[in-house]
Structure 1
């Protein structure tokens, strides 16, 4: 009975299984309304953009500018040689040598013009091609943006605009940002806006015998010497061993070097045979010596303490200059007649290995440029580590002198013709032509900001500026240019 009862449920289960309807199969269709993203087109756009960046570079514009400057100098030289040729005319014949020189110059000018025409044509074609490529890239990118159905790119653009607006808002709230370091100098006058002049243009007493040199005023004069002017004429493009003083600007212009040093008459003057004793009006024994105001640094030239190069300055009763044959700054104390120095960093270029230059010429032994402003003395140079770019260091008034904070700029030293400081800002000039120099660059030591588009022009009286320095006493720029002492007014604010 028990076995029979177990068999019956099994039979019933088998019967129910056989009667159940088979399960239906489930399937679904997936249809993509979106088109597949064209990755190949995106790669093409990226390739075209990279190729465009390769073909259009800042160096191409610099090449064209260099050719134009070169042509301008050649034409000026040709005009000068033609003037010489006209002066050699004897009525029928001309100087054969001058004709030969002019013929060669005209050939070179023709070659330069042909190269300039070819380069200009190439740039016109390049510009047209670049404009077309940019239009094509813009069109392709517009098409590709249509695949962004989730509006990811649109959202990123909105976020970018919001970030800019937020940053602008923050800048408006925090107008007076705290500087990261104590600013040098006094900049209440504002930034340099213009340079006018020349105010003074004189050869003084030397009548063009010393084409290289420097001159100016002491920004921190000793008592009783606030109106003095100093001149360092170089006996060649390289050396000088004395500094000459004048009691006023008029004394310098007419060539009377008499700083009026007072002393008791003991039978001789201050080491100068050309001077004379002038008796005081009251007849007292105390007399006044009037004579050439030379103060000698070294008895021979050159010597270890000789001045090397034209870029030297006077500050606080001491002359700062490039020590002869050394990568160091020398300081000659006018009172004690002693020389101390400070070595510049390892790798500093000196001995005319990294001069100030322009397109076709470099100024010998201008590796180091000593300059002054409201805060003191600075030195401009370059090193191998800086890859030839301008390096600026503060020269501290310690004994011996020492180097303070140092900055490395991104302007190449040999693309610069001179430098000067004003209110803690370094300014660099470049040669435009024989009549014009441009202040094209500035570096703010407080913020570290650089500006390559200063765009201030200086009218020159001679082609070459060998030394250039700013005096905060009268806000003047003092220039020594081809034996001429020239000054300009610096305008701020």
Structure 2
């Protein structure tokens, strides 16, 4: 593969730059059949081929390490199934003993106690193994993140076709790692779509996919992610929209993660094609193949159905266009989606800039209920919703963001918390939760960034049944 790339690069250099003396030495020969051949040395400063070779070798090493972790996860899942069966059966036996203690001898009780201690030891051993495996996956993720940044810089500086083969290898590794982490996290995480948990406990390290599809860091305004309620057959769809200013005009849709990374859009929609449906801010989401965003004129919430390519808007009563988030201008109306539906956050003159949360009736495209919070919106980095709970973030330092505030719409109670997480770069424009994969999607200074979300586990469980 490297040999082919070298030949390709030498050929391009000879044709395109023949007027420039790039060759430090020429050594031409003619064989008996009259075929001319030559050897040439191209200075390493022209293209870092040695670095690319190292990246490919690293890809092989990482892939092998990841395969071992995938095997471990399969073993964890198998062990966990067995342990759950043991715990369920022991629970039933203990319940029977408690209901009729006189029917069991001291020897039988002691035997059950020994079984309990054995299962506890097995579970502790499994937890230790899983934590060790988690550390390995974090290290792999960091290594891939660093390499993706290097590849992106090489694509910007040199012919991206020379980097394409290597990038494809890392895309495959990223996909494997994502699946491994998902299965790893599901061992202790609640099922996707479930709200049977006690709220967010922590976030993963930032997962850097790559620089945006424009390959320009100047496209700092925008967002990306997955459809929060995908139509049948579109469960793997991703979207991306960004620009050099705060105008929302284009949104691109990708069939899956691979095509997102390869910048192969399935369709790009122009909100200024047949009529002026442009928006402002970085507050957009896609839900049921419909783009929800802040309409520019008049100031209102809007939705663009990408299936019918029809748009409509609704003015939000009392919403002010003077209060945005700390990082981004014009983000006055911010959309969010979670397990319970579609939401919008904003501020009003009456609230003096304090954040207001509204639940949207999707069928009527209108607010059906609102909640007033006590946090000043311009001091907030961003907000998102999970299971009917609002989470707000703020900056701690150049490398750290913090979830510092929550508001539960069911109990109408607010609380101050501290859940720090790492930023890829200091400023980000977009942050939203997706209930289909329990991930946070961030648009950070032009880069696609995401986070796995972990939750506090509830102690309440269903009564186990006897396993036959």
TM tier, smaller: 0.5 to 0.7
Cα distance, 1:326 vs. partner?
Answer: 3.2
Alignment deviations for residues 256-291 of structure 1 (CA, whole Å, 9 cap, x no partner) = 22x3xxxxxxxxxxxxxxxxxxxxxxxxxxxxxxxx
1:92-107 maps to which residues of 2 (within 5 A)? none
User: RMSD of the TM alignment (CA)?
Assistant: 1.6
Query: Are positions 1:432 and 2:396 aligned together?
Result: yes
Match of 1:379 among 344, 347, 361: 344
Q: Could you say which residue in structure 1 is the equivalent of 2:320? A: 349
Match of 1:218 among 227, 231, 248: 227
Paired with 1:341 and 1:402, the residues of 2 have a C-alpha distance of 10
Residue 204 of structure 1 contacts residue 254 of structure 1 at CA under 8 Å; is this kept in 2? no
1:42-121 maps to which residues of 2 (within 5 A)? none
Cα distance, 1:318 vs. partner?
Answer: 0.6
Give TM-score scaled by structure 1 length: 0.52
Q: Could you say which residue in structure 2 is the equivalent of 1:492? A: 455
Q: Could you say which residue in structure 1 is the equivalent of 2:436? A: 473
Q: Could you say which residue in structure 2 is the equivalent of 1:417? A: 381
Alignment deviations for residues 84-107 of structure 1 (CA, whole Å, 9 cap, x no partner) = xxxxxxxxxxxxxxxxxxxxxxxx
SS at 2:198 equivalent: coil
Alignment deviations for residues 5-57 of structure 1 (CA, whole Å, 9 cap, x no partner) = xxxxxxxxxxxxxxxxxxxxxxxxxxxxxxxxxxxxxxxxxxxxxxxxxxxxx
Gap regions ≥5 residues in structure 1: 1-184, 260-292
Task: Count residues in correspondence.
Answer: 263
Residue 208 of structure 2 contacts residue 447 of structure 2 at CA under 8 Å; is this kept in 1? no
Paired with 2:276 and 2:344, the residues of 1 have a C-alpha distance of 20
Paired with 2:412 and 2:337, the residues of 1 have a C-alpha distance of 19
Query: Are positions 1:461 and 2:433 aligned together?
Result: no
Alignment deviations for residues 117-144 of structure 1 (CA, whole Å, 9 cap, x no partner) = xxxxxxxxxxxxxxxxxxxxxxxxxxxx
Cα distance, 1:460 vs. partner?
Answer: 0.7
Q: Could you say which residue in structure 2 is the equivalent of 1:333? A: 305
Residue 315 of structure 1 contacts residue 376 of structure 1 at CA under 8 Å; is this kept in 2? no
Cα distance, 1:304 vs. partner?
Answer: 4.3
Residue 347 of structure 2 contacts residue 354 of structure 2 at CA under 8 Å; is this kept in 1? yes
Paired with 2:412 and 2:247, the residues of 1 have a C-alpha distance of 35
Bigger CA radius of gyration? 1
Q: Could you say which residue in structure 2 is the equivalent of 1:253? A: 261
Structure 1 stretch 217-226 or stretch 467-476: which is displaced more? Answer: 217-226
Query: Are positions 1:228 and 2:237 aligned together?
Result: yes
Residue 304 of structure 1 contacts residue 324 of structure 1 at CA under 8 Å; is this kept in 2? no
Q: Could you say which residue in structure 1 is the equivalent of 2:269? A: 295
Residue 212 of structure 1 contacts residue 481 of structure 1 at CA under 8 Å; is this kept in 2? no
Cα distance, 1:186 vs. partner?
Answer: 4.8
Gap regions ≥5 residues in structure 2: 1-192, 457-468
SS at 2:197 equivalent: coil
Residue 355 of structure 1 contacts residue 367 of structure 1 at CA under 8 Å; is this kept in 2? yes
Alignment deviations for residues 41-82 of structure 1 (CA, whole Å, 9 cap, x no partner) = xxxxxxxxxxxxxxxxxxxxxxxxxxxxxxxxxxxxxxxxxx
1:353-368 maps to which residues of 2 (within 5 A)? 353-357=322-326, 362-368=327-333
Q: Could you say which residue in structure 2 is the equivalent of 1:307? A: 279
Paired with 1:304 and 1:344, the residues of 2 have a C-alpha distance of 20
Paired with 1:370 and 1:491, the residues of 2 have a C-alpha distance of 22
